[in-house]
Amino acid sequence: MKATVRGFQSKKDGVGAVFEDVYLVEGKRTPFGKLSGALSTVSPTDLGILASRAALKAAGVDGGEVDQTIVANIGQASADTFFLPRHLGLYAGAPQASPALLVQRICGSGIEVVAQAAEQIALGKAQVVLGCGTEAMSRFPLASFGMRNGFALGKPDFVDLLWEALDDTAAVPMGATADNLAREYKLSRDEVDRFAERSQARCFAAQEAGYFAGEVCTVDKSGILEAPGLKPRKYRLKGGEPLSADEHPRRTTLDKLAALPFVFSKDGPTTAGSASGIVDGACAVVIASGDYVRAHGLKPLGKVRGVTSVGVEPSLMGIGPAPAIRALLPQLGLTLGNIDVFEINEAFGAQCLAVAKALELNQDKLNPHGGAIAIGHPLAASGTRLALTCLRGLKQRKGQLGVVSACIGGGQGIAMVLEAV
């Protein structure tokens, strides 16, 4: 069997592709560091290199086998991020002749990385693709877009790009879309807080069971990243200690969550406790053709079966996963009942609950190891993390099919079906 792709398009249901014989071999991610935490001194390029080297090692694939490098990064958080995909590929060991590409679909970018990799393989443009999402949100800059042309006396014009990333200037702030969905789907403050508490509890249960040890690589307190013919890159963690576990999860109670003030509207229900964590981190995956997997005796985590992306009303952007999932499953001859695990990005508790309600999901199958409320949402890295977590979760639960999905700022949704092997 050869890797193939079939595209589909509908003005009502969005666009997508169905794949045959394309595999997600393995992946690794850095721990996700809290805002201004241990990873806040590390550039997104270096975070991506560290995750990519670990992913290739875990996959049993030499960097020299990489035909293309595809990277997602949203916030340009260091001076050299113009070169980020190329530098990441080269320092991860990809051949000099192997090209690199940056993709951007905001919160869906990590899923888009896997989709783009699968397309390149199915089109015969690669046998092995290194995919990575990387984000250093603590380093998002203060920017002055007009400073080069001068400013009026006493009126310098600066914006905080971390704060601006939370606002859709054509519609409403991201958190307000979650509050809008809470009203539309009649979600109470208590329901949303309970969902947030469950995300944290499931995450801690997974940590204590050692679940994340299989997907997280330790980041040493400092290091020098070298590649033949290139200048060495140096990094050092804040605090001077190695980081081996996510920093953002926090033990909480319903009483503590209920005491938090609303953030985006006077009636809520979104609070800091029911929103995704602002974190730093990277997650890399190795995607390969079936021919390559079989020829090299690899043991992949699973197959990439299909992907869909859709547009939705910007003021209700958080509902995006629902129509994306609905559009994709029939293309594969599947129904919601065929899916064993749903990994849906928890941009906000109300948003994820609205999607679950719209699809009438069994919440035992939804984010069984916690989600972004606990783990954090490093914008470009979340999608690759969801794919990795989903396939590992399927193996743990002896399931076959999983869905990964995310809402996307500006009013989009993306969904992907993965199959454990």
Query: How confident is the model at residue 75, as a pLDDT?
Result: 94
Asked if the model's pLDDT at residue 243 lies above 90, the reply is yes
Q: Which residues contact 362 (CB under 8 A, 6 or more apart)?
A: none
Tallying the residues shown for the chain, one arrives at 421
DSSP labels, 252-296: --HHHHHTSPBSSSTT---BGGGB---EEEEEEEEEEEHHHHHHT
Query: How confident is the model at residue 315, as a pLDDT?
Result: 96
Query: How confident is the model at residue 123, as a pLDDT?
Result: 97
Query: How confident is the model at residue 106, as a pLDDT?
Result: 97
Task: Using pLDDT thresholds of 50, 70 and 90, give the confidence band for residue 156.
Answer: confident
What is the tens place of the pLDDT at every residue in 320-349? 999 999 999 999 999 999 999 999 999 999
The residues spanned by each domain of the chain are 4-140+277-416
**Mean pLDDT, the chain, whole residue set:** 96
Percent share of the chain, pLDDT over 90:
93
Mean pLDDT of 110-124: 98
* Cβ(354)–Cβ(182) below 8 Å: yes
Query: In which element (H, E) is residue 134 found?
Result: strand 128-136
Task: Using pLDDT thresholds of 50, 70 and 90, give the confidence band for residue 63.
Answer: very high
Query: Which two three-digit tokens encode residue 161?
Result: 């790009």
Query: How confident is the model at residue 165, as a pLDDT?
Result: 87
* Cα Rg, the chain, nearest whole Å: 20
Task: Using pLDDT thresholds of 50, 70 and 90, give the confidence band for residue 207.
Answer: very high
Residue 171: name the closest of 319, 314, 318, 317 by CA: 314
Mean pLDDT of 153-172: 89
Identify whether 269 is preceded by a cis peptide bond (ω within 30 of 0).
Answer: yes
- Phi, then psi, of 208 in degrees rounded to 5: -65, -25
The total of other beta-carbon atoms located within 10 Å of residue 315's CB is: 15
Catalytic residues: 107, 407
Interatomic CA distance for residues 278 and 146, integer angstroms:
27
What is the tens place of the pLDDT at every residue in 310-320? 999 999 999 99
Query: In which element (H, E) is residue 140 found?
Result: none
Task: Using pLDDT thresholds of 50, 70 and 90, give the confidence band for residue 151.
Answer: confident
Task: Using pLDDT thresholds of 50, 70 and 90, give the confidence band for residue 152.
Answer: confident
Task: Using pLDDT thresholds of 50, 70 and 90, give the confidence band for residue 166.
Answer: confident
Query: How confident is the model at residue 229, as a pLDDT?
Result: 96
* β-pairing verdict for 341-344 and 302-311: unpaired
The CATH code of domain 4-140+277-416 reads 3.40.47.10
Query: 167-176, 213-222, 226-235: which has the minimum mean pLDDT?
Result: 167-176
Asked if the model's pLDDT at residue 155 lies above 90, the reply is no
What is the tens place of the pLDDT at every residue in 2-56? 999 999 999 989 999 999 999 999 999 999 999 999 999 999 999 999 999 999 9
Query: How confident is the model at residue 154, as a pLDDT?
Result: 86
What is the tens place of the pLDDT at every residue in 255-297? 999 999 999 999 999 999 999 999 999 999 999 999 999 999 9
Mean pLDDT of 141-148: 89
